[in-house]
Amino acid sequence: MADAETNVNAGTGAPVTLDGRFDIFPSSPLPQYDSPAAKAYLAQSKRDADDRLVAVRLDWRLPPQIDVMTNLRNLAPTGVMRVMEWGIVPWAPENRRLMVVVMERPGGDRVMSGPKATFDPFDEQQIVKGVLMPLLAVIRELQARGQTHRNIRPTNLFFTDGQKHNVVLGDCYTSPPAYFQPAWAEPIESHMCDPAARGRGRLFDDIYSLGATILALAIGRAPVPDGDPHQLLLNKINYGSYAALAAQHRVPLPIAELLRGMLSDDLKERWTIREIELWMGGRRLSPKQPKLPKRATRPFELAGREYFNARALAVGFSSEWRSAAPAIRGPAFEMWLKRSLSEESVVERLTKLVGAAQTKESGTGDGERLAARASIALDAPAPLRFKGLALMLDGIGDLVATSLENPERRQLLAELFQARLASIWLTGQTEARSDTARWQQAFDRMPQYISSGTAGYGIERCLYELNAHLPCLSPIVERFYVTNMVELIWALNDYSRNPGPAPKLIDRHIAAFCAVRCKQMSDQWLRPLGDSEQSNSYKIGVLKIMALVQQVSKLEQAPDLTKVLAEMLQPVVESFHNLKQRKKMHADLQAAGKTGKTSELLALFNDMQVLERDEKAYHSAQANYHRTASQISLLHIDAGNADHHAKEMGEQVAAIASGSIGFLIASITFLFYFI
């Protein structure tokens, strides 16, 4: 590791400080500690300069494994690179914030430098004392904390020192569980899965991976470095994992016994930590024959391939899902099940899960759903398989996160959610599970989200619902590594300093992120986002969301964000027809835009009925204007006819006046003469 110190001196960039306790040197990479999804850099403790530390920079697109890191922080066993601290730091070389994890740096090199690398095989003594003892302690401690490692493979092992006696496990939090595990190092169920969707798994998965790793260590290379993973899977199913992986290699007999136990495909027969410890203590058992799935007397043929057992046929239905449905509906399948396979439990499960759906096709996608149901019935512990996808339910979040940039996969996931197969899979499980209700609820919500095209729903909503620690992946704020509402307001405020000609404060990611992480945000907040972006309702909807987020964040000042919002709301003010009100609103908007508080802006627009009233009053004014104009036109016509009217009226008036005057004067004259 002398190169590390050299790199520090050569580095030109300033160190990044994490939590005030650790300095990380972005200019001093330590490529020997790189993970497939995380680059390693030199780190130093501020308290103890003698600490040998390394920091890994996590890929911001992958969900961070916060729960695992929390569990590994105070881990006592020395057989793993212990986590010292993690957090989000500014990463100047990429002009973004990133999550980094500081951990202990092993003294030696990586045991296996690459997937096809070879190394000196470990002898029995080395395997027991140098590998099994430290690693079993780690697995036991993790088990006690309800955690699994899921990254046990030779390429993730490091020697503790230059003497190459003992090894330590590398990280298990820079990527989704088992994401970079080679297929040979994973048990059959996990092997079937999409690498991103293998899930946290169970203790038995770690034991299997440890067994496969020991095999690799014993032979000095990967047991099956090349080859078709699908064929390897079928070999594992048909002949057992031990035979598929170790049969072609010369392994010391005691180690072979250990491997038979650790690589057993039957969970009931796979060795536990206790059994491994007994073996380490010298107890030797007679070698067990692997328990293979029941072989049918005749093969079932699907898409030109022959299948002799239910599990292998389920794999066939999964990979050849297009031709699966006609085969399942055909008479040959039922006959094969009853006469050739003769497994009552499988027939019962098929009747329960497939039932009436088997008889005829009633709509689009029925065939795929039928293939998925049949796969579950044929092989219950296997992952949920649909149209070529295979996933463990607890791996769905990671699968969505890694599929986000692939439109075809997104579509496939949408179809998977809408097919509501998770509950079928849970129903089909023969083993009791404690997380059934949790996953049932989680998957029940997804079809609603997927079916809505509005921002705040869709695949993005599923992404954040299923990944509690994933930062907001919106292009607007992704470089700020936003994990909560405070950071969101802070990031949006920063974005608002130079937002470009057409600022957009809420995209699909931000809307979905807020909908999930801001508990106060109900569906009614998201509804306006479905309107046109030019509409007043959309703009006021954005303002309401921003105001709520700022309120929740308790961040009192967001001056640039408020300014951009005020500018965005100008057209809303312009839509006020009443000029006096518009002028007043302009002045109020200008003033509120300078306060830095989005709530001040919202106070101006909170009453949506003002706009409605203005609209109504405007239409009324228009009607009044036109009515008055009509009356004026009539009066002009009257003025044109005034002479005619005046003549008629004038004659009447003259007659009345004349008569009145005549009567008055005549009366006076009479009085004058006769009195």
Partner 1 sequence: MTDFPTMPRGAQSVATKVIGGVIVVCVCVWVLPSVLVLVIGMVPTIVAFFTDRRREKYAAFCVGAMNLLGVLPVALGMWTQDHSMDSAMRNVTNVFNWFLMYGAAAIGWGLYSVTPAIVAFVLRVQIERRISKMQGYQQELIDEWGEGVTDSAKSAEEKQAASAER
Instruction: Give me the helices (H) in 12-73, please.
Output: 66-73
Give, to the nearest 10 degrees, the angle between helix 559-568 and helix 536-553. 170
Print the binding letters for residues 489-528 with partner 1: x by CB under 8 A, - otherwise.
----------------------------------------
Question: Residue 382 in contact with residue 189, Cβ under 8 Å?
Answer: yes
195 touches 409 (CB < 8 A): no
* Site membership for partner 1, residue 14 (CB under 8 A): no
Let me know: does 157 contact 168? Beta carbons within 8 Å: yes
Nearer to partner 1, 444 or 574 (CB): 574
Query: Of 57, 130, 150, which Cα lies nearest the Cα of 97?
Result: 57
The nearest distance, CB 569 to partner 1, in angstroms, is 16
Say if residues 393 and 381 touch (Cβ distance below 8 Å).
no
Kindly state the number of chain residues that form the binding site for partner 1, as judged by CB under 8 A: 47
Measured CA to CA, the distance from residue 369 to residue 178 in angstroms comes to 27
Query: How far are the Cα atoms of 288, 429, 431, 437, 465 from residue 434, in angstroms, in the given order?
Result: 31, 12, 10, 8, 20
Give yes or no for a contact between 197 and 391, defined as CB atoms under 8 angstroms apart.
yes
Given 335, 437, 591, 657, the residue binding partner 1 (CB under 8 A) = 657
**661 near partner 1, rule: CB under 8 A:** yes
Q: How far is the CB of 103 from partner 1 (least distance, A)?
A: 56
Cβ 500 to partner 1 shortest distance, Å: 19
Q: Which two tokens stand for residue 14?
A: 């300033």
- The only residue of 580, 609, 671, 675 in contact with partner 1, by rule CB under 8 A: 580
Kindly tell me which of 437 and 653 has the beta carbon lying closer to partner 1: 653
Instruction: Identify which of residues 352 and 618 has a Cβ nearer to partner 1 in the complex.
Output: 618
CB atoms < 10 A from the CB of 647, how many? 10
The stretch near partner 1 (CB under 8 A) out of 57-65, 207-215, 241-249, 636-644 is: 636-644
| Stretch of 400-408, 474-482, 510-518, 651-659 contacting partner 1, by CB under 8 A | 651-659
Question: Which of 231/622 has CB closer to partner 1?
Answer: 622
How far is residue 341's CA from residue 295's CA, in Å, rounded to a whole number?
A: 7
Among 535, 553, 595, 599, binds partner 1 (CB under 8 A): 535
Q: Which is nearer to partner 1, 31 or 662 (CB)?
A: 662
Q: Select the span of 275-283, 310-318, 400-408, 641-649 touching partner 1 (CB under 8 A).
A: 641-649
Identity of the residue, 361 or 643, whose beta carbon is nearer to partner 1 in the bound complex: 643
Q: How far apart are CA 67 and CA 594, in angstroms?
A: 41
Q: C-alpha angle with apex 199: 195 to 202, nearest 5 degrees?
A: 125
User: What single DSSP character describes residue 224?
Assistant: S
CA 341 to CA 348: how far, in whole Å? Answer: 13
The DSSP symbol for 387 reads: T
Task: Choose between 52 and 577: whose C-beta lies nearer to partner 1.
Answer: 577
Contact between 621 and partner 1 (CB under 8 A)?
Answer: yes
Is 532 among the residues that bind partner 1 (CB under 8 A)?
A: yes
Which residue type does 464 have?
Y
Task: Identify which range of 169-177, 232-240, 266-274, 648-656 contacts partner 1 by CB under 8 A.
Answer: 648-656
Residues paired with residue 24 on neighbouring β-strands, in sequence order: 16, 43
Judged by CB under 8 A, the stretch of 143-151, 434-442, 559-567, 576-584 that binds partner 1 is 576-584
Binding residue (CB under 8 A) for partner 1 from 2, 502, 579, 675: 579
The reply on whether position 247 binds partner 1 by CB under 8 A is: no
- Least distance from partner 1 to the Cβ atom of residue 575, Å: 9
Question: What own/partner pairs with CB < 8 Å and gap ≥ 24 does 637-646 have?
Answer: none
**What count of other Cβ atoms lies within 10 Å of the Cβ of residue 223?**
22
652 is an interface residue for partner 1 by CB under 8 A: yes
Q: Residues interacting with partner 1, by CB under 8 A?
A: 532, 534-535, 577-580, 618-619, 621-626, 628-629, 631-632, 635-636, 638-639, 642-643, 645-655, 657-659, 661-663, 665-666, 669-670, 673
